[in-house]
Structures are given as structure tokens and as C-alpha cells.
Amino acid sequence: MARTKRARHSELKNTAYEIFIGILSLLSIANLVLVYVFAGDGAMQLVLSVMNALFSVIFLIDFLYRIATSDTPWKYFFRGFGWADLLASLPFPQFKVLRVFRLLRVFRLLKALGVRQIVSTLVHDRANSTLMTLLLLGILVLQFGSLSILAIEEHAKGANITSASDALWYTVVTISTVGYGDQYPVTNAGRVLGVLIIIVGVGIFGTFTGYLANMFLGPSKDAPTAADAPAADRTVDADAPVTADTAKAASAGVAGGAASGAVAAGASAKADAAGREERLRALLAQSERMQAEIRDLLAEH
């Protein structure tokens, strides 16, 4: 049982990432059905082909990521249906149905994790959850926005969005809020859809820009703080002039050092009680002497 839990933990990647891959797997399987639904519309099929090619690239990266981070790559490839992940990532329609294995794996891993743990992880890991949500929203808007605008505008009078290339270009430009104006809807329904794409695009790119700014310009988690600095870096120069501010800082430092020494000595009480008491008395005496000297200096100033 413990071995099984460890294997699942090793197989499970970031929770938000697993959900992202699961939804993309479901969408890619749904696209196989949509290809037959739009069998008579070459432009619609071309949009779906472009999206399936994008999914193939993402799934190939997912396969490489899983096999590179797996504890036993051969076990993932042969027993964990890694071979199915690889074949489903190739640009061959016959193998795309194998993406169901990736969907089943994600479902199995998330089911073992539990709904409460999934929600807790997503709430606490907000950075990754936000990034995966933005990527998913971008992909969904790109596909369904292109399909919808093409269905609305393709046969309209005076339309200039009449091909898969036009629809994809218009959706990408509108999502990014660039708005070149070379492709635009001429129907009321198309304009309403364009407004919705713009609103979603502003939210996606605004949030994504904030995410990147926080990632590149925010403080590093590994940045040392004043408390983590070496003791030698926090000492006061003996030749520096003593002012009221430096005296107060020195007093606070001595008091903090005394407290730290007391805590550290208390931690080793079980090893040598007598030595602990001696060191504590010495620290307290030193603190009193230093405070007396500081009071004298303050009185002079």
C-alpha cells in the first residue's frame, strides 16, 4: 500500500498542471468528433486541424516532461502507458484516440488525491493555478472563438472573414487586443462575439502581464533577510562614532543576542545543564555591562 502511494505521488505532477492536461485531453477527444460533425466544411476542419496540431505539441512536451521526471522511465513507458502518450502526440489521426489513456491517468491520479486535497492545493498554489488557467482560457477562446466567428461570418454579405486563416488571425489579434483592423466582423452577431473575445483577451493578457511582472521583478524567495545574514555582517564597527540611534540599535542587538544565546543554551540543556547556566550568566552579565556603557554614552550626548 505504501509503495503504491509513493508511486502515485511520483507519477502525480503539479495538481493544476494535471487538471490542465486532463481538460486538454478531453477537448482533443471532443475535436475528433467535431471533425466528423463539420465534414462538409473545409474551413472548419482546417481550424480543428490547427488546434489538434497545437495539442500534439503540448502532449509531446508533456510526454518528455513525464519521462524525464519519472523515477523509473521504463516503467512509465511500458506499464504507465507512456507509449500511448508518445503515439497520441504524433501528428497521425489514427493514434489520436490513444489520448484517452492520458485522460484516464489524470482522472485516476486526481481521484486518489481527493477533492478536498485538490481544492486546498489549488488555493495555496495560486501562481501555478493562475498560469494554467490563463493557458487553458487562451486555448479555449482560440478554438471556439475561431469556430464561432467563422460560422457567423463565413457566408455573410460583404464578409472578410471567410477562411480558417482569417478566423484564426482575427481571434489571435483580438485576444491580444492589438486590433490591426484588417479582419473584422460585419454582422451584429459577429461584433457581439468580437466584444466578448476582447473582454476575455484583456483579462487574460492583463493577468498574464501581472504574473510575469511578479515573477521577474518580485523579491526572490531565496533572497537572504537581515535575520539570515551572518553574524559577522551584522557587527558594528568599533571605530564608528556612537550616536543615539546607533546606541539604541546596539542595545537592541545586545538584548537580541542575549535572548538568542539563552534560547540556544536552553536547547542544549539536556547535554550539559551546568555549562548552560554558566553561559547564560555570562551572557546576562555581558548584556548588563554593555547596556550600562550605552547609557553612559547616551548621557554624554
Whole-number Å distance between alpha carbons of 278 and 290: 18
User: What is the mean pLDDT of the segment spanning 23-41?
Assistant: 88
- Label residue 257 by pLDDT band (50, 70, 90): low
- In this prediction, residue 219 carries a pLDDT of 66
Residue 64 reports pLDDT greater than 50: yes
Between 30-34, 46-50, 64-68, 225-229, the lowest mean confidence (pLDDT) is in 225-229
User: What is the mean pLDDT of the segment spanning 129-135?
Assistant: 86
Give 80's DSSP letter: S
Closest CA to 84 of 96, 67, 66, 72: 96
- In this prediction, residue 221 carries a pLDDT of 57
- In this prediction, residue 225 carries a pLDDT of 52
Closest CA to 60 of 36, 90, 33: 90
Residue 94 reports pLDDT greater than 90: no
Indicate the CATH number for domain 125-219: 1.10.287.70
The neighbour count for residue 260, using CB atoms within 10 Å, is 12
Whole-number Å distance between alpha carbons of 182 and 173: 10
The tens digit of pLDDT for each residue in 273-294 reads 667 777 777 777 777 777 777 7
In order, the DSSP letters of 108-164 are HHHHHH-HHHHHHHHHH-HHHHHHHHHHHHHHHHHHHHHHHHHHHHTTSTT-S--SH
Cell, residue 114: 481527493
The neighbour count for residue 142, using CB atoms within 10 Å, is 20
Q: Which residue has the higher pLDDT, 229 or 2?
A: 229
State the Cα angle at 116 between 111 and 119, rounded to 5°. 95
Greatest mean pLDDT among 57-66, 71-80, 217-226, 276-285: 57-66
- pTM score above 0.85: no
The neighbour count for residue 101, using CB atoms within 10 Å, is 18
The domain spans of the chain are 1-124, 125-219, 231-300
The tens digit of pLDDT for each residue in 100-112 reads 888 888 888 778 7
The tens digit of pLDDT for each residue in 81-90 reads 788 888 888 8
